[in-house]
Chain A
Amino acid sequence: MKKNTNWEYAPAPEAAKIAKIAKRYDHFINGKWTPSQSGKTFRTINPATGRKLSEVADGNDADVDAAVKAARAAYEGLWGKMSGRERGKYIYRIARLMQERAREFSIIETLDGGKPIRESRDIDVPLAANHFFYTAGWADKLEYAFPNRNPSALGVAGQIIPWNFPLLMAAWKIAPALATGNTVVLKPAETTPLTALKLAEIIADSGLPEGVVNIVTGAGTTGAAIVNHPDVNKVAFTGSTSVGKFIQQTIANTDKRVTLELGGKAANIILEDAAIDQAVEGIVNGIYFNQGHVCCAGSRLFIQESVYEEVIWKLKSRMRTLVVGDPLDKNTDIGAINSKEQLKTIQKYIQLGQEQGGDMYQPTCKLPSAGNWCPPTLFTHVTQSSVIAQEEIFGPVLAAQSFRTVPEVISKANNTPYGLSAGVWCDKGARLFQLTTQLDAGVVWGNTFNQFDPASPFGGFKESGFGREGGLHGLAAYLEM
């Protein structure tokens, strides 16, 4: 037998042909597939190959207006009068249909967005179905969820979602809106519209009354049309901080409700008594999950100085085992960067990180020739004032610093305009909670990272936005009380 064989993994691709993707997708308005009134379309491409997947309708003000009118009519009609129990049945049905077609959904999510099939299969799609299941159960129990507060729906919800978790974000937005009796106009991101459109197919199959969920595709101007529409009662947005600020300015003079889930620059703090090997796993999961396209990514690593060297060698060694490449391959850990533009942004930050004196480490990995790729990247000896420690990169780039004392790391961790998430690794429970209570972040994970559950509220402070999604807090955001 050969000794010291490297035993590389042979390709193990998921079967792309299982996914049925139409040549063209129209808007889903009032239960019908409706072409753009302008007739315009745009292409959605596979970021791992650069090839076109489909043509998608490009929505303008008139398309958005038609969608909002349909949503208003549904709200004033059947849906608004329906009992919570009946609404719940539809939501359960959507959840079950999504489970039944989970494999197809995960393949399309991976084709359209570039994330590894392991993640779309094990995380995105099951979690999206779970959100529908979870909120379906609350639909007829809202009076018990919010006792003595007479909860009632708001009306038409305009929802705009990002490209990093296309289906999951659609579920986070649509499920609570339906459970609380609202109707929906949703715009998926222009680089990743396909799973939201497949969700529309499921919604049609479920028999949900026409106009309750409308999906309009397009880029920023389409989103602006939703935000600006006078008959929208609530705007829910997940995306960049700059767009979030714009939305707040736009609706400042109206009575529209708004929740914003924006950027982040999370601190992941490793104390010296932590279980180091498991912390390293959490660091990897925190920053390299979904190519780092995660608003709550643990992109700032703070390591107590006595274990700094150990954490860094173990982290580098773990990075060498990450498989970068074809997102459809079941062994891939890091897939394709979502778009050319995002890749350029990430590369700009990597360049800046080097110019500003950080030591860069990237494991050698064979990258495919076509498509958008970025190997997992670690910067050590980063200073708190350098750009890569301050700005959200939204890519697989980690900035590591050391610290000596707990008060020092608390002030460094909070020294950011963002406040979405944070992680602390520590073997002593009391110390862990003492530290976590002092971090200004909406979600703080202890000895784990990037854990999501439909029952757990998620959202940020400061420039990471406001409002919560998930749990009862997520339902409250769609209720008048």
Chain B
Amino acid sequence: MILNEELLAVQRGEQGEAMRKVLNTLVMYGEAFGAERMVKITGRMGHAVIGTGSMTWKPVFDLMEELIDGGALPRQSFTTDPRGVEDHVPMSLMDRAMFKVIFSGQKRMEQEWERMGIKDSNAYTCTAYMKEVGNIPQYGDILGWAESSAVSYVNSVIGARCNRNSGILELMSNILGYVPEFGLLTDEGRKADWIIEVQCQNMPEPQLLGSAIGFKCIEDVPYIRGLDKWLGTELTQTVKDYLKDMGAAAASNGSVGLYHVENITPEAVKHALPDGGNSLIKENAKVFVIDDAEIERVKANYPNPWEGREFKEDAPELAFAGCPHFSCEQLRDWTDRLVDGLKRHGNTQVTVNTIFCAAPDVREAFEKKYPVRARRLKRIGVTISGLCPLSYTSNPLTDKIRIITASNKLRYYSKARFYSEAELVEIITGGWDEKWR
């Protein structure tokens, strides 16, 4: 790799040993992918994937300390992934005590992030690109972010350029201010390997569609056709939310870091050809049709995490929605769905303890913008939290709780059982029934 003068000085150790090691790490990483140069990060802020002080991540916190002590600090402010738990979330004393042990590195990690210049104490969310949080890259920005769902979103919905960087590497990129140029940072790397034809009768739920895409494309770039029939061609907040959830699912079943949606996402629109084609599609792109049968097949093939456990036939104890974190508009719409469902079923309270997850800034905005709904949500028994439900289930006690979710990402990483959004609303508002077993 050819380094510029600034980086050569770093390599000579002129900014200290820690910086030299940071550079060498990123050079070795880039050279594995044929990168010939480092390019400057142009995004205004970074985003890291470490928000939970998990005891298993102690080596990471040690490394962060080594960087701080060595004077290797990020050049820009940043946001990071959600905390694993929050004090106001209802739980037993035993659960709370176990969280103290499981997340014993939380205080240390947050202190280290503060020393490194994190945006503020509300900056813990997987959806930092929400307007209320304000970490919104521009089209074409070069980024050194991590968090699979966020990378997918900023690449696809915004048109920024970011590889699927690992935790720590994203931090080192922001310390150096450069990332190696390869993969999704290049024009060629952003071209589509797959054409996905969505031929469902009705609009598929985003998490199920994303799941089907992830299983098929794994790490490739898909170009998705047929969604504009339902989503239109404007990137409204509703459309952005749909794509956020679809992309997150594709990034957990597989490792899709970028997708294009015909007539909707910015690069797909920019590269459209007059004949209906698109110059983003590779010549030899494979075609895959997703219809209702494929969506059903994907859902039916999810493993039942409750299989063989004694409580298999018992009612769920906890429901999670908002993984990735909800937008303000999703909080509004899900509130309405629950209120409608409760009316339909003649209930006044949710039948399962329910947590809606959203960024702390989004939660505050929701409470200001929709105070009546926020009060109603509390009254029917729903808690809004900025926690990460994946991290929440790394506690062996909470992992034993029978959790239901409409999040493909959560069901993948935990023993939470997946139901479609419509099914989840029915269970939460109408109660557990034989048909859900």
Q: Do A and B come from one complex?
A: no
